[in-house]
Amino acid sequence: MYLPETMVSLPFILLLFAVLQAPSSSLHSKSGDREELLQFKEGLSDPLGSLSSWNSSNADFCRWAGVTCSRRHPGRVVSLSLPSRDLGGTISPAIGNLTSLRKLDLRSNMFYGEVPHTIGRLHRLRELVIQNCSLDGEIPQELGNCSNLMGLNLTINQLKGRIPDALGSASRLQYLSLGYNNLVGGIPPSIGNLSSLVILTLYQNNMDGTIPEVLSHLNHLQRIQVARNNFSGTIPPLFFNISSLQRLGFGSNKLQGSIPPDAGANLPILKELHLGNNRLSGMLPSSLANATNIQVLSVARNRFQGRVPPEIGKLCPPRVELGGNRLEARNDEDWEFLRSFTNCSRLQLIDLTGNNFGGMLPGYVANFSRQLQWLGMGENQMSGVIPPGIGNLVNLIYLEFAGNNLQGVIPEEIGRLQNLKSLMLQENRLSGQIPSSLGNLTQMLTLALSYNQLDGSIPKSLGNLERLTSLNLSSNRLTGGIPGEIFTLSSLTDFLSLSGNYLSGVLPPQAGSLKHVAHLDISRNNLSGNIPEALGDCENLVYLTLDGNFLTGGIPRSLGNLKALSILNLTRNAFSSSIPRELGKITGLQQLYLAHNNLSGSIPLILGNLSALIELDISYNHLDGEVPSSGVFSNLTGLSILANDGLCGGIPELRLPSCHVKPHNKQRQLSLMILLPVVLIVTSLLLLCSVLFLFKGKITVGKMKIPSLYKIDEKYPRVSYNELFHATDGFAPANLIGGGKYGSVFKGNLSLSASENDATVAIKVFNFHQSGSFRSFMAELEVLRQVKHRNLINIITSCSSIDSRGNDFHALVFKFMPNYSLDKWLHPGADEQWHKLSLVQLLNIAVQVADALDYLHNNSQPSIIHCDLKPSNIMLGSDWTAYVADFGISKLVGESMDRYMSSSGNSVVIRGTIGYVAPEYGESGQVSAAGDSYSFGITLLEMFTGRAPTDDMFTKGLSLHLFAEMAFPDKISEIVDPTLVQPFDNDARLDTALACITSALRVGISCSKKAPLERMSMKNAAVELHRTRDSLLEEYFV
């Protein structure tokens, strides 16, 4: 019996489909996502060998590093997790073919380029984390297709453009973190569709517009952080009705309007309220007291006015930031909120500075919790006295009552505050003497007592403040001599100001010990005698003002050694003799005031060559001779030469008499006729000898085995001396950006190819006069041609030629680093308004430098020892990427450099930098990787303590290593740079930050041990620092 045809074909087709499908499934289980993974790996740099198991010979790709496969569907990758592996390159679009992927974690690597649009194909993806890389471009719209996405973290990159509207389609999204990028535009209203959103972080971008009201409908939101943008308009009131909120961060924007009266009524679990640095106004609502779990109340630097509700004081948050508003207090009732704070045992910070608080300073400020670390009440209108009981607040780090009307004396009891680092009492009406007990405050960094009515002498005990960086006692009624102990405070880096007092006596020779201070002002006193020659040793001085004294003698020639000097004011003294021409060596000098003295002689012509000099006042002296016509002398605006009757010439606008030139008599003409031929003959003979000598030198050099200096980057042509000369405006001082023993570094604009515009480059010119400079040039060139790592300085090309005078000319051309060196950021000058680097930035730099040294030691062929690592040899790119530079004394292990130096006859002497060089280098001269570990360890300690190893506090056996080792681990908070922990605004985050700093210092201490065999290797140091940085990022930015 035959069945109908249709009944035969259907089962047969189903059976055939199953048979054909089985081999296919089996085949896929064997190959699976393997090809996609190999495509992802292709083109990536992998200095740590993290992907060494990813190869075609290892068939079981599910066991490859970072890969997790599905149990239900063998061969399908469900998780790719490769955090902190130092992987570099672009992320392959092939990643979008891993269609079973649920988790993609590539955080803390060196990826650059765009986020692949193909990730939008990953419909099963739940978590995408690519934070702390160098990604640029825009966020792909296609990410909105990831319908199962629950977490998206792209913080700390260089992403630009707008947040795509399409992200609002990822309806299951619970956290969205896009902070620390370059995003622009507004927040898309579509984000309001993400009803499951718990965390929204857009911190520190360039976004603007208003805060969409629809975001206030996100009823599950726990943390919103959109600070440090340019948002304007008002805060939607319904945000204060989201009962799940724990952190509300709208600080540092341009927001206006007021806080709703019932703002705190519906925020039962709010812990942090950050509204500071905006334009908010109105009254502070008393309803905030209902947010009983709040730990941080930050509304500083707004336009709030009126009295502070007394209920706020009962809230007892550990941190209260109300400074920079228009808040008022006139009587005891208005101060009631402050009285309530005396019952707060957790109180750590009170900032009331810059308001309109008046009346008497309440005496009960001395009754605050002993846990209080920060008390700021400056820039108000308070009167009364500083209560002696303030000395009971033994944990105070910062105390400010500046800019009030306080009277009375400075309490001796302040000397009990052993942890105090800043005491700001300036601009009051305090009287009496400076308490000698202040000399007990050995942790003090800043002491400001200026603009008061203090009298008596300066206590010698202030010489005990060995960590002091700024001392300002100006505009008081102080008398007597300046204690020599003050000038032994080599820790002074910012300023020492004693101006506007009645100090007498002479400037002691110890003044030359202030080698790090930038601003020295002792003007308007009664000092006499000479300026000590030793003052010329203060090489970091930027401002030197000694005007309005009775100083005598000549102006020391040693002042010409002050290369960093910008302003020199010596007016209204009794200086005699001539103006030293050595002042013309201060190339950065902008203002020079020498008026009202007894100076004589002519004006040094070299002053006209100071291109930076814009103001010169030499009036009311006894100068004579011709006035120069160049530089500052060519412009009446910045020049004053009044009351110098002997001056002549100059530009016509000065209306000075002409300078008379004596006519030549016949006898002189006859002498010239005889002498001139003789001089010409002698000069010719000397010139001939010089040419022969140089020619002989060229032959000698020519016999050396110098490798051909091929261009490093094939797309750039070799450059000539003339090109570099024009690129730097003739190697002008204005383009000088650095220098060292073997040469100088200039900034220049150079055309690198015919198709490109001029590029900004750094040009390192080697000093042919300095012995060893050619060896340094060849060593650096050889090293940089052999290595390639993302965190090593990138050389573009080189030049080996003859300059305009016929001398050897050698130069290396690098990409210009707009953020200069790490040293500039660790120790900025007083005139450099550079912010301090954040903890995250420092950890990133530490990781990158460790990776670079690990590569040199373990992954370069041959291995390379840097030999001179220090902050000034760590350059920072525009994206804050760190680059190790200056390989002039590096050593290639296992490969002799003698072939570049055979003619010199001298062996290579390895020299590092004092403070950073390993101790054994001075004993045996034998270099090793452990020597680099030592230098790195010292650099690491410097980064996190803010103390250089050459700081003058490190004497009598105390070193930076020992300083950190003695504090480790229980007293780390006492030695850490305080600016690193200030941004961490609650206990938990502060603890995390201190834990990370402790871990970093542990690495620094381990690397800088005296015995080479006991030091941590750079490979292990890199691993530890990666772990430390990632723990901070996970806590703070996720």
Query: Token pair of 855, please?
Result: 């590569």
Other beta carbons within 10 Å of 926: 12
C-alpha to C-alpha distance for 938 and 916, rounded to whole angstroms = 6
Read out DSSP for 906-969? Answer: SPPPP---TTTS-GGGGTT----HHHHHHHHHHHHHHHHH---TT-TT--TT--HHHHHHHHTT
Phi (first) and psi of residue 211, to 5 degrees? -80, 115
Distance of CA 812 to the CA centre of its chain: 26
C-alpha to C-alpha distance for 395 and 376, rounded to whole angstroms = 14
Contacts of 175 (CB under 8 A, 6+ apart): 150, 151, 152, 153, 197, 198, 199, 200, 201, 1038
Inter-CA distances, 302 with 110, 591, 912, Å = 39, 38, 51
Taking only Cα atoms into account, the Rg of the chain, rounded to an integer number of angstroms, comes to: 35
764 is in an annotated binding site: yes
Plot region of 883 (φ>0 → left; ψ -120 to 50 → alpha; else → beta)? beta
- Only one residue has tokens 């001089």, namely 679
| Nearest 10 degrees: Cα torsion 727, 728, 729, 734 | 150
Residue 549, CB-side half-sphere exposure with 13 Å CA sphere: 30
Pairing of strands 736-740, 743-750: antiparallel
Polymer length of the chain: 1038
CB burial of residue 966 (10 Å; 0-12, 13-18, 19+)? exposed
Contacts of 891 (CB under 8 A, 6+ apart): 864, 865, 867, 897, 910, 927
Residue 647, CB-side half-sphere exposure with 13 Å CA sphere: 25
CB burial of residue 479 (10 Å; 0-12, 13-18, 19+)? middle
Inter-CA distances, 35 with 70, 77, 103, 188, Å = 17, 12, 19, 38
Query: Catalytic residue at 868?
Result: yes
Edge-to-edge strand list for the sheet holding 759-766: 736-740, 743-750, 759-766, 808-815, 795-802
CB contact at 8 A, 750 and 719: yes
Edge-to-edge strand list for the sheet holding 110-113: 88-90, 110-113, 134-135
Other beta carbons within 10 Å of 647: 22
Phi (first) and psi of residue 137, to 5 degrees? 80, -170
- Which residue among 86, 868, 932, 977 is the active-site one? 868
Q: What is the 3-state secondary structure (H, E, C) of 559-616?
A: HHHCCCCCEEECCCCCCCCCCCHHHHHCCCCCEEECCCCCCEECCCHHHHHCCCCCEE
According to DSSP, residue 996 is labeled H
C-alpha to C-alpha distance for 465 and 15, rounded to whole angstroms = 91
| Nearest 10 degrees: Cα torsion 509, 511, 513, 515 | -140
- Only one residue has tokens 């005891």, namely 332
Which run of H or of E encompasses 135? strand 134-135
SS3 assignment, position 453: strand
Point out the annotated binding site.
764
Which residues carry out catalysis? 868
Point out the annotated binding site for ATP.
764
